[in-house]
């Protein structure tokens, strides 16, 4: 009876039960997928050409006082997409778990509720009493941080800039939500293709602030053509300071005029007529020097 209920439950995730082992402290269920193909996570192309396979172990909600372990027979497929950079990919069990996770989604949701109510230390004691496993307070706090990141929507105002993984090494791209002032993602490179793929996978960005990099400009045009591109505040201030420095270097008299002492009008030694002011040099057009774009 219990096996029939388990098989019916797993069928909702396109899984079939291969074997079941019941011990006094643990229930182990071996499963495999009933689907004949899988979708590539990068190009979303359907493939049925199997490359290899492996067994993935995930924990599920306990059955009474017994913990439940699922052994998932995972297949790896060749990606048959013509424009995809991936050679092979592993199938994902829909709605049951996420990539690289060691627990099912329903167990993660239960742990999150305990974490938000009890915190790290109290949550660890509660998890042990409920037979959800023996987890450290640091692990529970990490689950909270992951939950906060997963619930974040696609930002409307996105900041794009490069960042160095290590001094003297290659640089990547950092994406920041300017409304929440939080890092959204770190991309492994600063090319236009990397930014284009991320923007296509996360539609809804309205305004993008960036530097004057040509690769970022091209990536935004291809990935989010409807988004407005503007210069960020840091680079505007840098460009403005460079322009002011050039003006002062080419016209040193400006500093001399600003350093002359001001004479009070009530002073006895004040001249009756103010001395003629030197003709102010014409400053270059700042907007052209800043290199702003529309």
State the Cα angle at 40 between 35 and 41, rounded to 5°: 115
Instruction: Give the chain's domain count.
Output: 3
5: in domain: yes
209: in domain: yes
Final residue before a domain boundary, out of 233, 257, 281: 233
Average pLDDT over residues 243-271: 68
The answer on 81 and 20 residing in a single domain is yes
141: in domain: yes
In this predicted model, what pLDDT tens digit does every residue of 20-53 receive, in sequence order? 898 888 999 999 999 999 988 888 888 999 989 9
Final residue before a domain boundary, out of 233, 250, 271: 233
214: in domain: yes
Is residue 207 within 8 A of residue 158, CB to CB? The reply is: yes
164: in domain: yes
The answer on 224 and 140 residing in a single domain is no
Average pLDDT over residues 78-97: 87
The answer on 97 and 56 residing in a single domain is yes
Lowest-pLDDT choice from 85-89, 106-110, 137-141, 162-166: 162-166
d(CA 133, CA 226): 48
The answer on 90 and 13 residing in a single domain is yes
In this predicted model, what pLDDT tens digit does every residue of 171-216 receive, in sequence order? 888 898 888 887 888 888 888 898 999 898 888 899 999 887 788 8
The answer on 87 and 21 residing in a single domain is yes
The answer on 201 and 162 residing in a single domain is yes
pLDDT of residue 31: 92
pLDDT band at 74 (very low <50, low <70, confident <90, very high): very high
The pair of structure tokens assigned to 43 is 């190009």
Is residue 202 within 8 A of residue 177, CB to CB? The reply is: no
The answer on 49 and 94 residing in a single domain is yes
d(CA 139, CA 136): 5
The answer on 127 and 75 residing in a single domain is no
Is residue 178 within 8 A of residue 234, CB to CB? The reply is: no
283: in domain: no
Higher pLDDT, 133 or 269: 133
pLDDT exceeds cutoff 50 at 287: no
239: in domain: no
The answer on 35 and 84 residing in a single domain is yes
Name the nearest CA neighbour of 116 among 150, 149, 147: 147
pLDDT exceeds cutoff 80 at 121: yes
Return the number of other C-beta atoms located less than 10 Å from residue 173's C-beta. 23
pLDDT exceeds cutoff 90 at 77: yes
pLDDT exceeds cutoff 60 at 284: no
pLDDT exceeds cutoff 50 at 106: yes
Domain with 114, as residue range(s), is 104-151
In this predicted model, what pLDDT tens digit does every residue of 144-168 receive, in sequence order? 777 656 556 788 899 998 888 777 6
pLDDT band at 283 (very low <50, low <70, confident <90, very high): very low
pLDDT of residue 289: 42
pLDDT of residue 139: 87
The answer on 115 and 52 residing in a single domain is no
The answer on 95 and 161 residing in a single domain is no
| Domain CATH code at residue 202 | 3.30.420.10
135: in domain: yes
Final residue before a domain boundary, out of 93, 116, 151: 151
The pair of structure tokens assigned to 83 is 């424009």
The answer on 108 and 97 residing in a single domain is no
């Amino acid at each position: 009876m219990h096996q029939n209920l388990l098989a019916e439950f797993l069928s909702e995730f396109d899984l079939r039960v291969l074997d079941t082992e019941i011990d006094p402290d643990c229930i182990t269920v071996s499963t495999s997928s009933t689907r004949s193909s899988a979708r590539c996570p990068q190009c979303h192309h359907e493939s049925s050409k199997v490359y290899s396979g492996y067994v993935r172990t995930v924990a599920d909600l306990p059955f009474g006082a017994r913990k439940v372990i699922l052994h998932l027979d995972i297949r790896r497929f060749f990606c048959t997409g013509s424009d995809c950079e991936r050679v092979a990919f592993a199938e994902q069990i829909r709605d049951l778990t996420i990539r690289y996770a060691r627990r099912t989604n329903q167990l993660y949701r239960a742990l999150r509720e305990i974490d938000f109510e009890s915190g790290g230390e109290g949550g660890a004691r509660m998890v042990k009493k409920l037979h959800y496993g023996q987890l450290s307070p640091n692990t529970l706090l990490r689950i909270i941080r992951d939950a906060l990141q997963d619930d974040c929507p696609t930002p409307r105002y996105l900041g794009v800039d490069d960042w160095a993984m290590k001094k003297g090494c290659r640089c990547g791209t950092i994406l920041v939500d300017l409304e929440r002032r939080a890092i959204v993602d770190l991309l492994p490179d600063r090319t236009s293709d990397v930014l284009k793929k991320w923007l296509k996978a996360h539609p809804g960005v309205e305004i993008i602030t960036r530097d004057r990099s040509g690769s970022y400009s091209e990536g935004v045009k291809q990935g989010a053509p409807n988004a407005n591109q503007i210069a960020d505040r840091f680079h505007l201030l840098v460009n403005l300071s460079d322009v002011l420095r050039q003006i002062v270097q080419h016209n040193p008299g400006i500093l001399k005029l600003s350093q002359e002492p001001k004479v009070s009008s009530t002073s006895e030694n004040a001249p009756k007529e103010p001395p003629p002011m030197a003709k102010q040099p014409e400053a270059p057009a700042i907007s052209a020097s800043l290199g702003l774009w529309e």
